[in-house]
Amino acid sequence: MRICVFGAGAVGSHFAVRLALAGHDVSCVMRGPHLEAVKAKGLTLRVGDAAFNAKVRASDDPAKLGSQDLVISTLKATGVSSLASGLRPLLREDTPVVFAQNGIPWWYDLGLPPDHPPPPDLAFLDPGGRLRAALPTQRIIGGVIYSSNEVVEPGVVANLSPDRNMLLVGECDDGESERIERLRTALKDASIGSPPVARIREAIWAKLLTNMSMSVLCLLTGQTARAVRDDPALREVVPRLLDEANAVGQSCCPGVKRVTRSGPAPEHKPSILQDYELGRAMEIDALVRAPAAFARAAGLSTPMLDMLAGLAIRQARDKGLYQG
C-alpha cells in the first residue's frame, strides 16, 4: 500500500519505519531538522541495541507526496487542525484517514452507534468545524496508540516499549469492514500489534482513564507514572482520582474496563509532561477539558479531577503552552 504518516514525530516515525520495512510505499509529512535528516540518510529506528533504517519519502508539503491508499495521522490533538488544508492532495476517492491521538478525538460524535450515550458539545476540539468540513465521516478511522518513543536526534527515533507497540483501529460506527481487516493485517505484518476492537470509543476511554488522572498528576508533580503510583505521599490521592475517572468512563462507555492502581506502571514521563518540559503546545483540551465536559453532562461530582484540571490549565497557561 501507499501509506502516508502525517505528523511523523516520535511515534509516527517508529511506525513509518516498520511499515516501510514490511514492504509498503511509505511517505511522511514532517518538518524541521528531522525532515532534513530523513531526506539525507533515511529514517532510523532503534530498539535496544538494534537499529533499522528505512528509506521513506518525506516532505513538509503534502502535495509533493501524491495520493495515498491510506493516511495515518499521528499528530497530537494540538496540531490535528492542520490536516484540514494538508490532506486534500493525499486523498483518492476512497482513501481513509486514521486519527491516532491521545484523548477525546474531534470526530467522537460522528457515526455514533445508537446505543451510545449522547456526548456533550465537543466543538472546541475542532474550532470552526474545519475538519468536519474537510472530511466526510466515511473517511474516518479511529485509532489508539500504545507505544513509547523518543526522537533522540534528527532522523533517529528510539522505541522505549519494545514489548508493547500497538495501534488499535476501528470504524466510527463500530461496524466491521474489509478496510479495517486489511489495515490490521498490514500492521501485524509490520510488527505493530492491532488486535480486534469491538467498540473504538471503549478503546479510547480505556487509555484516557489513565491519561486524564495519572498523567495529569505526573504533569503537576514532574514525576514518572511509576513514581507517582508508588509515592507514599500520594497513596490516598491516586485511588480517589481513579475512582472518579472510572465513574466518568462508565457513564460514557458502560463496557470500558476499570483502571486500577495495581499492575505495571511505566518508568517514563507521559507525553503531557514531556510537552510541558519541552515547551510544546499541550493537549489540554483532549485530555482535560473534554473529560470534564463528559462528567458535567453526566451530572457527576468529580472534585479531584476538577482540581487537577484547573491546576493543569493554569500551569500550561503560565508557560504560554495553552490558550484556551
- Model pLDDT, residue 263: 64
Cell of 319: 508557560
Averaged pLDDT of the chain: 94
Structural domain boundaries enclosing 175: 2-198
Do residue 108 and residue 51 come from a single domain? yes
Q: What percent of the chain has pLDDT over 90?
A: 89
Q: Does residue 202 contact residue 194 with C-beta atoms inside 8 Å?
A: no
Do residue 286 and residue 140 come from a single domain? no
Give domain status of residue 262, yes or no: yes
Distance between CA 115 and CA 268 in Å, rounded?
Answer: 37
Phi, psi of 73 (to 5 degrees): -90, 120
pLDDT in tens, 150-186: 999 999 999 999 999 999 999 999 999 999 999 999 9
Give domain status of residue 324, yes or no: no
- Model pLDDT, residue 130: 93
- To the nearest 10°, the Cα dihedral for 176, 258, 104, 177? 0
Residue that terminates a domain, selected from 177, 198, 219: 198
- Model pLDDT, residue 276: 96
- In this prediction, residue 262 has a pLDDT band, given cuts at 50, 70 and 90, of low
Instruction: Please give the average per-residue pLDDT across 41-46, as a whole number.
Output: 98
Active site residues: 207
Task: Give 3-state DSSP helix, strand, coil % of the chain, rounded to 5.
Answer: 45, 15, 40
Do residue 229 and residue 302 come from a single domain? yes
| Domain CATH code at residue 178 | 3.40.50.720
